[in-house]
Amino acid sequence: MDSSNAGKDDVTLTVADKDTKEVLAKYNIPVKYLHPFHHYHCALLLPRKKDPTGTKLYATIVRKRSLIPRYGGVNYTGLEVFLKGINEPLAQPDGDVVAIARIVNNLEAYKEEVRNRPINAPPFPLSVITFPDPTMEDFDVPRVTNHGYPQVSPPGGPPEQPKWETSYLFQGRDGATAFSDDAALVIEYYKSGSGGDLESVTKPLGFSVLPLTNRVYRKLVADSSRSGLRIENLPIQDTLLRTTSGGIPTVQLGLQLINSERPDVFLTASTTNGLPLLDPELVGQLGTIKEPWTRPPSKMEQKISVVEPHPENSFIAPDRKTSCIDLSLLPNDKLPPHEAVAEILPERQHARPIIEEVQDLETDNYGSALQKMADDILSLRRHVSNLEAENSSLRRNLAMHEDVGRALFQDTDLDVMTKAEIVDRILALKQKLAAGAQEMARMKDRVQRLQNELIRKNDREKDLVMLKRAHQQQQVLLRKYQAKVARMQALEDAVRQQEKVIERMERMLKEKVKDRFQDADQFPDIPRGAGLGDSWSKDLYTTLLMENMRLRDELGKSSSYRSPIILQQQALPDTFSANTEKLSLISKLEKAEARIHALECQLEESARRWGREKQGYSTRLLEQELGFVHSPSSPVLQDFLLDEKEEKGDKDVKNSKIYMAGKNK
């Protein structure tokens, strides 16, 4: 969300049924009511007509900004605490665990309040906000509280060894009052309730305490630990949980002091393992550091003060108080006792810094007043800029009218003109201005018409270019068809020559057969297989072979169309009998007749196909002459499909006729 719209926009939470997608509840939360980086733990209540209790939604709301605001008088912006998880597996796991972290100003008073807390009370106060019209007071944040501002982690699992790996950011007043003798980081552990209901949480499983003394602060700002510190074994106190080894569970923490308003690096599980280690026992034995600006104790205080050593098995623990009275628990009609201040003082007298306390309420009032003044200044600046723009526009219009007036009245002396003449001149100027406006409108219409005409001409030019391109493609296709027609004519000539050769061959066969029969009648006593018969047969066979070779050469000259040639192994026999020679001649004659029939069929089919193609070409030429335009790709595709179909049909006809000819033989 843009920061400029934060004062106007709302955040909408919609609750819907998973299966039916029906909207059950809808909450609109104004962003301007939310304080940055504050965790609001709310019970959002939406009343219904048929349900008096209404719909209640538990939610934690945090408004985050692009920068972390710096608290006045503090040289850092916040304290980041990274909670990794429990170090050892638990002996008796009992579900997922939720960790609630907070910084308290008085640890002993907070422990006393936790002991006196009712069993069914939630671990932190819930703000019940009634919708659909929440008020600003519902999102108000208490200025002074010893309980701190709690932050809730997601449920950690698995139950055997919970891991959270989540970060807590303490900034603002929490971060400013973090490092003092009585302040401490408290992490409480609760069993996760069913459905995340914060009102049904049970008794806490335990808590961990890390005192935030000025020694810890010095350790965090040291050069060696600018990236943060790591606490390995922080024990969980007041707990019944035990590890598999029988010891008290411990957790691992990471601390980082954030100095920038726009930090680049935050703590993660991998970066925490490489941080310098902070020894809780050693820091507890050293105690706090006396700052140079603290007030030295008096002689009486030096006599009264007694240094009590820490026990050997202690971790970082704050100094104990004898008693403490929480002013927030007193009734409104009663005042604290006279010894309240004495009871608040520690048992040991420490040197405390003398710091002037600033009234937070007054500071907030000043801040809100400054914010309002800044908003007013910005709005006034915007208003001034708008007025300046309007003023400049009016000045331009005034200058233009003055120039026109001077141009019109420069040839007339206004001193000698009467009022009626001036009125007439003004009316004439108005008429002239109206005529000029009409002329301007007419010229605008003309410009619009010319622009439309130019657009139409451009469209026509594009159409002409496309037609020219299509015409060029048609010319290429036409030349292709003409070349194909020329090849067809060459094929027709080749077929005619083949027909002539076949006819000549038939005549020669008839003459040879006739001569053979005449010779057989003149010499009846001569054996069939010897003498003249043999020489005649050899001459006849040789002649036929030579004629066959010549025919093959002639047929081979045709490059476009080749008729099937059946090659046979032919050899001259040694002797021929009359019957054998006669049978061979008859078989050759039948083969020649079959070949003639096949060639006739091929010629007939070719003539038909050529006629159809010729008719198609003439039709297309006629269409082109008459101006019919076809796409350049369609004729080629149609011719290809037509040729393929005709060739298939020709092959079927040819095969059927050859089969019939063989059957007739």
Which residues are 59's β-sheet partners? 42
What pLDDT is stored for residue 293 in this prediction? 39
Long-range contacts at 351-356 (CB < 8 A, ≥ 24 apart)? 351/290, 351/291, 351/294, 351/295, 351/296, 351/297, 352/181, 352/294, 352/295, 353/291, 353/293, 353/294, 353/295, 354/293, 354/294, 354/295
* pLDDT interval class at 200 (50, 70, 90): low
Residue 80 predicted with pLDDT over 50: yes
Residue 364 predicted with pLDDT over 70: yes
Longest dimension (CA), the chain: 177
Does any domain span residue 609? yes
Name the strand (E) or helix (H) holding 48: none
Residue 532 predicted with pLDDT over 50: no
- Contact call for residues 196 and 42 (beta carbons, < 8 A): no
Q: Is the pTM of this model over 0.85?
A: no
> How much is the average pLDDT of 530-551?
60
- Contact call for residues 262 and 66 (beta carbons, < 8 A): yes
* Closest-CA residue to 220 (of 209, 212, 230, 229): 229
> How much is the average pLDDT of 475-496?
89
What pLDDT is stored for residue 393 in this prediction? 83
Q: Tell me which of 112-121, 304-313, 481-490 is least confident.
A: 304-313
> How much is the average pLDDT of 139-154?
80
Q: What is the C-alpha separation between 210 and 152, in angstroms, rounded?
A: 17
Q: What is the C-alpha separation between 302 and 286, in angstroms, rounded?
A: 19
**What are 445's two structure tokens?**
């219409």
> How much is the average pLDDT of 409-430?
74
Does any domain span residue 39? no
Does any domain span residue 83? yes
Residue 643 predicted with pLDDT over 70: no
CA angle 124-130-133, nearest 5°?
A: 135
Sheet-wide strand order for 163-171? 163-171, 78-86, 250-258, 229-235
Q: Which of 284, 314, 343 is the last residue of a domain?
A: 343
Lookup result for tokens 């198609």:
616
More confident residue, 308 or 602: 602
Sign of the alpha-carbon dihedral angle for 132, 133, 136, 140:
negative
Does any domain span residue 54? no
Q: Tell me which of 83-97, 211-225, 628-642 is least confident.
A: 628-642
Q: What is the C-alpha separation between 336 and 325, in angstroms, rounded?
A: 8
Residue type, 435: A
Sign of the alpha-carbon dihedral angle for 51, 52, 57, 63:
positive
**What are 85's two structure tokens?**
């998880």
Does any domain span residue 506? yes
The CA-atom distances, in angstroms, between 451 and each of 442, 447, 583, 640 are 14, 6, 94, 47
Q: What is the C-alpha separation between 108 and 551, in angstroms, rounded?
A: 127
> How much is the average pLDDT of 361-369?
75
Residue 204 predicted with pLDDT over 50: yes
Residue 173 predicted with pLDDT over 60: yes
* Closest-CA residue to 115 (of 107, 103, 104): 107
* CATH code of the domain containing 300: 2.60.40.150
Residue 567 predicted with pLDDT over 80: no
- Contact call for residues 153 and 99 (beta carbons, < 8 A): yes
State which residues form the domain around 521: 472-664
* Counted domains in the chain: 2
More confident residue, 322 or 112: 112
Does any domain span residue 14? no
Q: What is the pLDDT of residues 575-610, one digit of tens each?
A: 444 556 667 777 788 788 888 888 888 888 888 888
* pLDDT interval class at 357 (50, 70, 90): very low
Q: What is the pLDDT of residues 222-270, one digit of tens each?
A: 888 888 999 988 999 889 899 999 899 999 999 999 888 888 888 998 8
Q: Which of 325, 343, 361 is the last residue of a domain?
A: 343
Range among 1-10, 285-294, 375-384, 394-403 with highest mean pLDDT value: 375-384
* pLDDT interval class at 375 (50, 70, 90): confident
**What are 449's two structure tokens?**
């018409």
Residue 80: exposure state from Cβ atoms within 10 A (0-12, 13-18, ≥19): buried
The CA-atom distances, in angstroms, between 524 and each of 204, 519, 527, 538, 579 are 142, 9, 8, 20, 14
- Contact call for residues 61 and 40 (beta carbons, < 8 A): yes
Residues in the chain: 665
* pLDDT interval class at 423 (50, 70, 90): confident
* Closest-CA residue to 425 (of 436, 439, 440, 414): 414
How many CB atoms are located within 10 Å of the residue 576 CB? 21
- Contact call for residues 88 and 160 (beta carbons, < 8 A): no
End-to-end, the C-alpha distance of the chain in Å comes to 99
Residue 132 predicted with pLDDT over 60: yes
Alpha helices in 410-418 (DSSP H): none
- Which residues are CB-neighbours of 307 under 8 A, at least 6 positions away? 348
> How much is the average pLDDT of 642-661?
52
More confident residue, 36 or 402: 36
- Contact call for residues 243 and 91 (beta carbons, < 8 A): yes
Q: What is the C-alpha separation between 104 and 110, in angstroms, rounded?
A: 7
The mean pLDDT value of the chain amounts to 75
Does any domain span residue 400? no
Residues 334 and 476 in one domain: no
More confident residue, 641 or 612: 612
What pLDDT is stored for residue 556 in this prediction? 63
Q: Which of 287, 308, 343 is the last residue of a domain?
A: 343
What pLDDT is stored for residue 248 in this prediction? 92
Nearest-Å Rg of the Cα atoms of the chain is: 57
> How much is the average pLDDT of 192-210?
71
Q: What is the C-alpha separation between 606 and 646, in angstroms, rounded?
A: 10
More confident residue, 342 or 616: 616
Range among 365-369, 424-428, 461-465, 646-650 with highest mean pLDDT value: 461-465
Does any domain span residue 149? yes
Q: What is the C-alpha separation between 341 and 354, in angstroms, rounded?
A: 17
> How much is the average pLDDT of 165-179?
82
CA angle 464-468-469, nearest 5°?
A: 120
* pLDDT interval class at 195 (50, 70, 90): low
- Which residues are CB-neighbours of 174 under 8 A, at least 6 positions away? 79, 103, 148, 149
What pLDDT is stored for residue 505 in this prediction? 83
User: Quick check: helix, strand or coil at residue 341?
Assistant: helix
